[in-house]
Amino acid sequence: MPPQNTNEVPEPETPQVSVVSNEQTSGIVDQDNPEESDSNSKKDSIKGILSTVAILVIAPLIALSLTAFVFQSYEVDGPSMQTTLQNHDRLIVYKLPRTIAKITRKPYIPKRTDIIIFTRHDSFEFGTDKPRQLVKRVIALPGERITVKKSVVTVYNEEHPEGFKPDEENKYGKVITNTSGDIDLVVPTDSIFVCGDNRPNSLDSRAFGPVPLTDVVGKLSLRVYPFKSGQSF
Tell me whether residue 36 is in a domain: no
Of the residues 37, 43, 65, 80, which is catalytic?
80
The residue from 95, 136, 205, 219 that is catalytic is 136
Kindly report the number of other CB atoms within 10 A of residue 172's CB atom: 15
Give the CA radius of gyration of the chain: 35
pLDDT per residue over 219-230, tens digit each?
A: 999 999 999 999
Q: What is the CATH number of the domain that holds 181?
A: 2.10.109.10
- Tell whether 213 is covered by a domain: yes
Strand-pairing partners, residue 116, are 136, 219
**Domain count across the chain:** 1
Neighbours of 117 (CB within 10 A): 21
Contact 216, 89 (CB under 8 A): no
> Would residue 16 count as lying in a domain?
no
Structural domain of residue 134, as residue ranges? 67-226
Q: Is the residue at 221 inside a domain?
A: yes
Q: What pTM was estimated for this model as a whole?
A: 0.73
pLDDT digits (tens, 9 = 90+) for 149-191: 999 999 999 999 999 999 999 999 998 988 999 999 999 999 9
What is the spatial distance between Cα 149 and Cα 188, in angstroms, rounded to a whole number? 20
Residue 19: band (very low, low, confident or very high) from pLDDT cuts 50, 70, 90? very low
Q: Are 91 and 85 in contact (CB under 8 A)?
A: yes
Residue 18 is among the residues annotated as catalytic for this protein = no
User: What DSSP string runs through 107-171?
Assistant: ---PPTT-EEEEEES--GGGT-SS-EEEEEEEEE-TT-EEEEETTEEEEE-SS-TT-B-HHHHSG
Answer yes or no: 102 catalytic: no
Interval 128-141: pLDDT, tens = 778 899 999 999 99
The answer to whether position 40 is within a domain reads no
Average pLDDT score over residue span 22-47? 54
Residue 51 lies in a domain: no
